[in-house]
């Protein structure tokens, strides 16, 4: 078992252990002091792991209500949010009670925002069951639902009381969803951990080891900049262009694939600009491909730029583009938003 401590606005631990789902109750009993727990999950994860987790919570003395929302991003909506908080109210949940979110980033983000806002904050435990949720969304306290106007527009920073990661749960993940998480894992290697990157190139790491290394990096970044004003932006490596790819595809290209393309586009552009060695760019694209992730897309530079611009122009005319001049060295490069076009053009140009 590995326990990683995070010191943010709420101090909490992340426990990584095979078979942990069956011991959910005993861990929750150490941090939750109310009687009632809402076990929030999605329909797929509910069928796989809902009974195991509910049984463990009941054995530890909790009174458990279970709610399984439909699978997918559609459940990060205000309608489902209202359904969950109304359920809490109708069932007499008080401020000492809690939500346990069992699932991927969708359930974690939704459950976190319900916990943050119901009665101005109740207990919250994350049990991530996708690789992406284990290494990224369950840690760091970003919670949100989407508005028709855009993703994650209604949310709060709300740290969990506890995060329980059971690597065995990842064994039932479809390959493509596991690969989405690998894009974020490779991102951590690029921005902070050249040793992790090299290990991913040379051998098959155990999931527990991958999660623990990535979560340690995220812990350090969140502790230094919980509210995302500084170094936390490093975690957006590949995301500026990636979000444009996602939007241009009308979300037909998954988030992980889009981030992979975003990282590769910026890396190829940097090689063309002489700010990254060609061999480092080649290592990145080879590792992404090894994990079944794409490194190019068919959208024109102009189309990608226009979508990226509509995202960024609202805040101000400068943009913190995350760049990695070498593997393991993420940096925030403050550029005028208009300079992004050069990166996209050079990064999407056919190889000579």
List residues binding ligand GLY (CB under 6 A). Answer: 136, 140, 142, 228, 232, 235
Q: Among 19, 61, 70, 72, which residue sits at the site for ligand NAD (rule: CB under 6 A)?
A: 72
Shortest gap between Cβ of 242 and ligand GLY (angstroms)? 12
Taking Cα atoms as reference points, which of 255, 259, 254, 266 lies closest to residue 239? 259
Pick the closer one to ligand NAD by CB: 104 or 123.
104
Give the whole-angstrom CA distance, residue 236 versus residue 250. 20
Residue nearest to ligand GLY (CB): 235
- Residue 235's binding partner, choosing from ligand NAD, ligand GLY, none, with beta-carbon cut-off 5 to 8 A by kind? ligand GLY
Residue 180, contacted partner among ligand GLY, ligand NAD, none, CB below 5-8 A by kind:
ligand NAD
Helix (H, G, I), strand (E, B) or coil at 155: strand
Contacts of 156 (CB under 8 A, 6+ apart): 112, 113, 116, 117, 143, 144
Task: Please tell me what DSSP assigns to residue 118.
Answer: G
Complex with ligand NAD: residue 61 or 72, whichever CB lies closer: 72
Give the C-alpha separation, 79 to 97, whole Å: 22
For 273, the enclosing helix (H) or strand (E) is: helix 255-273
DSSP string, 19-74: TGGGGHHHHHHHH--SSEEEEEEEHHHIIIIIHHHHHHHHHTT-EEEEEEEPSSGG
Q: Which residue has the tokens 């552009």?
A: 269
Residue 236 CB, shortest distance to ligand GLY, in Å, is 6
Contacts of ligand NAD in 75-134 (CB under 6 A): 76, 103-107, 109, 129-130, 132-133
Is residue 71 near ligand NAD by the rule CB under 6 A? yes
Nearest residue to ligand NAD, scored by beta-carbon proximity: 105
Please count the residues of this chain forming the interface with ligand NAD, following the rule CB under 6 A: 29
Taking CB under 6 A as the criterion, the residue among 9, 96, 172, 331 binding ligand NAD is 172
Residue whose structure tokens are 């102009």: 302
Helices (H), 60-192: 78-90, 105-117, 131-132, 175-192
Backbone φ and ψ of 2, nearest 5°: -120, 135
Q: Which does 17 bind (CB under 5 to 8 A by kind): ligand GLY, ligand NAD, none?
A: none
* Residue 177 sits in the site that holds ligand NAD (CB under 6 A): yes
Q: Binder to ligand NAD among 26, 73, 195, 220 (CB under 6 A)?
A: 73
Residue 140 CB, shortest distance to ligand NAD, in Å, is: 5
Q: Which is nearer to ligand NAD, 159 or 348 (CB)?
A: 159
d(CA 244, CA 261): 10
How far apart are the C-alpha atoms of 283 and 42, rounded to whole Å?
37
What is the C-alpha separation between 286 and 270, in angstroms, rounded? 17
- The one of ligand NAD, ligand GLY, none whose footprint includes residue 232, by CB under 5 to 8 A per kind, is ligand GLY
CA distance 210 to 110: 25
CA-closest candidate to residue 149, choices 85, 78, 83, 82: 78
By rule CB under 6 A, what string of x and - marks binding of each residue 214-253 to ligand NAD? ----------------------------------------
Q: Which is nearer to ligand GLY, 232 or 283 (CB)?
A: 232
54 binds ligand NAD, rule: CB under 6 A:
no
- Which has the closest alpha carbon to 265: 241, 282, 249? 241
Q: Which is nearer to ligand GLY, 39 or 258 (CB)?
A: 258
> In this complex, which beta carbon is closest to ligand NAD, that of residue 34 or of residue 152?
152
For ligand NAD, the binding residues (CB under 6 A) are: 42, 44-45, 48, 71-73, 76, 103-107, 109, 129-130, 132-133, 136-137, 140, 142, 152, 169-170, 172-173, 177, 180
């Amino acid at each position: 078992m590995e326990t990683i401590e995070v010191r943010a606005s709420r101090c909490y631990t992340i426990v990584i252990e095979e078979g942990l789902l069956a011991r959910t109750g005993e861990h929750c009993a150490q941090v939750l002091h109310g009687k009632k727990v809402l076990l929030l999950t999605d329909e797929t994860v509910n069928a796989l792991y809902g009974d195991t987790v509910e049984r463990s919570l009941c054995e530890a003395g909790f009174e458990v209500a279970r709610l399984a929302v439909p699978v997918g991003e559609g459940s990060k909506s205000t309608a489902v949010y209202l359904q969950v908080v109304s359920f809490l109210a109708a069932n007499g949940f008080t401020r000492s009670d809690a939500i346990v979110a069992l699932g991927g980033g969708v359930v974690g983000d939704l459950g976190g925002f319900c916990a943050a806002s119901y009665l101005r904050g109740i207990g919250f435990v994350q049990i991530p069951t996708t690789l992406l949720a284990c290494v990224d969304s369950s840690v760091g306290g970003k919670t949100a639902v989407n508005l028709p106007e855009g993703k994650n527009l209604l949310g709060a920073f709300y740290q969990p009381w506890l995060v329980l990661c059971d690597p065995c749960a990842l064994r039932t993940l479809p390959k493509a969803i596991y690969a989405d998480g690998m894009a974020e894992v490779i991102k951590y290697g690029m921005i902070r951990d050249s040793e992790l990157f090299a290990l991913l190139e040379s051998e098959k790491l155990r999931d527990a080891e991958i999660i623990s290394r990535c979560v340690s990096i995220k812990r350090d970044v969140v502790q230094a900049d919980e509210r995302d004003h500084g170094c936390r932006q490093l975690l957006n490596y590949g995301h500026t262009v990636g979000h444009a790819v996602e939007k241009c595809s009308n979300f037909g290209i998954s988030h992980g694939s889009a981030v992979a393309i975003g990282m590769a586009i910026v890396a190829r552009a940097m090689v063309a600009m002489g700010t990254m060695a060609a061999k480092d760019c080649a290592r990145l694209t080879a590792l992404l491909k090894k994990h079944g992730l794409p490194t190019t897309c068919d959208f024109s530079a102009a189309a990608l730029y226009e979508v990226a611009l509509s995202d960024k122009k609202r805040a101000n005319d400068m943009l913190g583009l995350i760049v990695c001049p070498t593997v393991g060295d993420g940096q925030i490069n403050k550029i005028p938003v208009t300079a992004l076009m050069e990166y996209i053009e050079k990064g999407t140009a056919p190889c000579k």
